[in-house]
Amino acid sequence: MDRLDNTVRPYAWGSTTAIPRLLGVEPTGEPQAEMWMGAHPGAPSRTERGPLTEVIDEDAEKELGRAAVAKFGPRLPFLLKILAAGAPLSLQVHPNLEQAQEGYEDEERRGVPIDAPHRNYKDANHKPELICALTEFDGLCGFRAPAEAAELLAGLDVDSLKPYVDLLHAHPEEAALREVLTALLSADRDDLAHTVTEAAAACARLGGSYAPYAEIAHHYPGDPGVIAAMLLNYVQLQPGEALFLGAGVPHAYLNGLGVEIMANSDNVLRCGLTPKHVDVPELLRVVRFEASDPGVLRPEASPDGEEVYETPIDEFRLSRYVLPQDAAPHDLTAATPQILLCTAGSVRADGSTLAPGQSVFVSAGEKVEVSGPGAIFRATVVA
C-alpha cells in the first residue's frame, strides 16, 4: 500500500477555502480547485517508490492485475479528484470513445501541437465522469425540455431573446435545442453582449429560479454561455448524492466540494463560460441534443456496508464506507487496483492512519483492511 502525495491544481474557478478546510490546513489565499489522485501524466501522485506512473510502468500486471491490464491496457484507467468549485466551471461536453479516437487521429494527422490552445483532443480516450457531493453542490446537467427553456427565457422579458423563445417552440426537440445553441455560439459576441447583460439584470431582479444564472453572469459578464446555461437543468446535490455525466451531455459545476472520478482523459469541448477556445462545429458534432432528467444518484448499500454509485462505465467504480467507531474491520482486498480516500474522521488502513483528504494506492491483490471512525471512498475498476 502506497501513501499518496497529491498535486493541487490552482485553477481560477477554485475555492480558496474548501480544500484547505478538508485537509485541516491554513488557506494560502490562492484558489485550490482540484486535488488529483492517480497516474495521469499531467500530475501523477507521488509515492515513496516514485511517481505512480513510473511505479505502474515498472510492472503494470503486478500493480493493476492481469484482468485490468487485459481490459484497459498497462495504465490506471481512472483519475480520482477532490473538486472545489468557488465559481462556475466552463460549460462543456465530453466525446464518446469513437469521437475521441477520430478527433485525436485527425488533429495528429493535421499536425496540431498537443499543447495548442485550439487543440480539442489531448488523447484518444473518452471521459465519462461521476461527481459525488461532500457539501451542498450546485451544477447544470443535461438539456431541459425545450418548452421549459422557452418559458424560463420568456420570463426575463428581454426583447432580443424572443427569437430564441420562438425557435424553442417552433421545432421538434432535437432541432430546437440544436438551432438555439448554434445561434448563441455563432452570434457575434459583442452583438450578443447587450442581450446577456439585460438577461443577467433580469435574473438578478427576479431571483428564485433565476438566481443561479445571475451568479453565473456575475462571473462571466457578457458571455453567451449565460444564455446557453439556461437551456440546462439546474441541480442541487446534497452530501452523498451524485451525478453521472456521460458522453455528449452538456454540464457545468457551479459551486461546492465533491469527490470526482473519471476515465483517465483530458478531452473537453467547451461551449461557454470560458475565455478558452470554443470549436463550434466540433462541439455540435459531439453534443447530444435531447432533453433529459439529470438523474441524481444515491448509493446502493450492500450487506457489508459498501455504498456503491452505479454507473454504466467499467473504467471506474466508486463506492463509500461510513465506518463506526467499534465496528469490525472491512476487508477491501481486491484483484483490481484501488485508491482509498478518507473524507471524514480518522480511518485506519492496515496500520496507516488516514485523515480527511489523505489517500493510498492499493495494488491489485494486496491485502487491505479498513476501520473507523470515519468515511472513506473506494475507487477501482470493473475488470
- Give the active site residues: 270
- CA distances to 82, 252, 297, 353, 378 from 22, in Å: 10, 23, 23, 16, 18
Residues 6+ apart with CB under 8 A from 232: 91, 140, 141, 142, 143, 144, 250, 251, 252
* Long-range contacts, stretch 201-209, CB < 8 angstroms, 24+ apart: 202/156, 202/157, 202/158, 203/156, 206/155, 206/156, 209/152, 209/234
CA-based end-to-end distance of the chain: 20
Residue recorded with cell 488516514: 354
Residues 279 and 112 sit within 8 Å (Cβ to Cβ): no
Residue 315 neighbours by CB under 8 Å, 6+ apart? 72, 77, 78, 128, 263, 264, 381
What sign for the dihedral angle of Cα 30, 31, 35, 36?
A: negative
Burial of 145 (0-12, 13-18, 19+ CB in 10 A): middle
Is residue 237 within 8 Å of 137, Cβ to Cβ? yes
Place of cell 417552440: 169
Residue 312, C-alpha cell as written in the block: 454504466
CB atoms within 10 A of CB 58: 11
DSSP 3-state of 296: coil
